[in-house]
Amino acid sequence: MNASLEVLQEHLGHRFTDTGLLERALSHRSLGVRNNERLEFLGDALINFVAADALYAARPTAEEGALSRLRASLVREAALARIARDLDLGAVIRLGESELKSGGFRRDSILADAVEAILGAVYLDGGFAAARAVALRLLQPLIAELPDAEQLKDAKTRLQEWLQARSRPLPRYEVLAEEGPPHARRFHVCCVLPDTAEQTRAEGPSRRSAEQQAAEAMLQRLEAGVADA
């Protein structure tokens, strides 16, 4: 086994008995049929459980919805890709020629999948206790940085709850325009409050993104108005 994989095992805190499992976990599907997708399936289930278990203990007063948002934040693609970069997985992931040329070793989706596959490999190599220990070791820095669960709600949800708490009607979102080529569309959206006709506008690469930004702008305006009153 090369030096990079030795270092990786040190960072994971697990030394493989079957090093073939680790090599399989680092093999992207672009390499052929002996890839990491089945291990990824195992690792995905495992990291979701470990994250839920850790949050249940760390946030004893949090309700189910809050715990779900916190877990989603921990196991989302960007968070797992961050773990992968901390482990320098891009240097050891095995890719097919097409993915190598396109810079697949930098892609969040590939990096995140590799983290899940490694956890699946640890489980098969050392059992649940070993896999749980590795998962906790990787997740702990992210758990320590988690904000309050309320901050993880998206802008549309927070705006809706703000209005409902004051018995006001829900906002309406309207697409004002779409522009640009198919691969680079821009959506112009407005958020309208039916009871006052107040509106905010935003744009983004998708309708959802634009709506979220318009909702955030509206929420900031409403909260500023309350603070000034």
CATH number of 3-147: 1.10.1520.10
Residue 23 assigned ligand-binding role: no
Residue 53 · residue 135 · CB < 8 Å: no
* Residues known to be catalytic: 44, 116
Residue 53 assigned ligand-binding role: no
Residue ranges per structural domain of the chain: 3-147, 155-228
Percent of the chain with pLDDT over 70: 96
DSSP category for residue 153:
S
Chain centroid to Cα 167, Å, comes to: 33
**43-82: pLDDT as tens digits:** 999 999 999 999 999 889 888 988 988 898 899 999 999 9
Residue 116 assigned ligand-binding role: yes
CATH 3.30.160.20 describes domain 155-228: yes
DSSP 36-101: SHHHHHHHHHHHHHHHHHHHHHH-TT--HHHHHHHHHHHHSHHHHHHHHHHTTGGGT-B--HHHHH
Is the pTM value of this prediction over 0.75? no
Instruction: Select from 166, 216, 221, 175 the least CA-distant residue to 195.
Output: 166
